[in-house]
Amino acid sequence: MTAIHLYALAGVGLFTLGLHALIVHAHLLRKILAVNVMGSGVFLLLVALARRTGEAIPDAVPQAMVLTGIVVAIAATALALTLMLQLAAETGHATLPEDQRESD
Q: Return the pLDDT at 78.
A: 97
For the chain, what is the domain count?
1
- Give the domain extent around 89: 3-103
For 27-68, the pLDDT digits (tens) are 999 999 999 999 999 999 988 887 766 666 777 888 888 899
For 12-37, the pLDDT digits (tens) are 999 999 999 999 998 999 999 999 99
pTM above 0.85, yes or no: no
For residue 67, the SS3 value is helix
Q: Which residues contact 84 (CB under 8 A, 6 or more apart)?
A: 28, 29, 32, 94
Distances in Å between the Cα of 89 and the Cα atoms of 92, 97, 100 are 6, 14, 16
Q: What is the CATH number of the domain that holds 9?
A: 1.10.287.3510
81 vs 96, residue with greater confidence: 81
Q: Return the pLDDT at 62.
A: 82
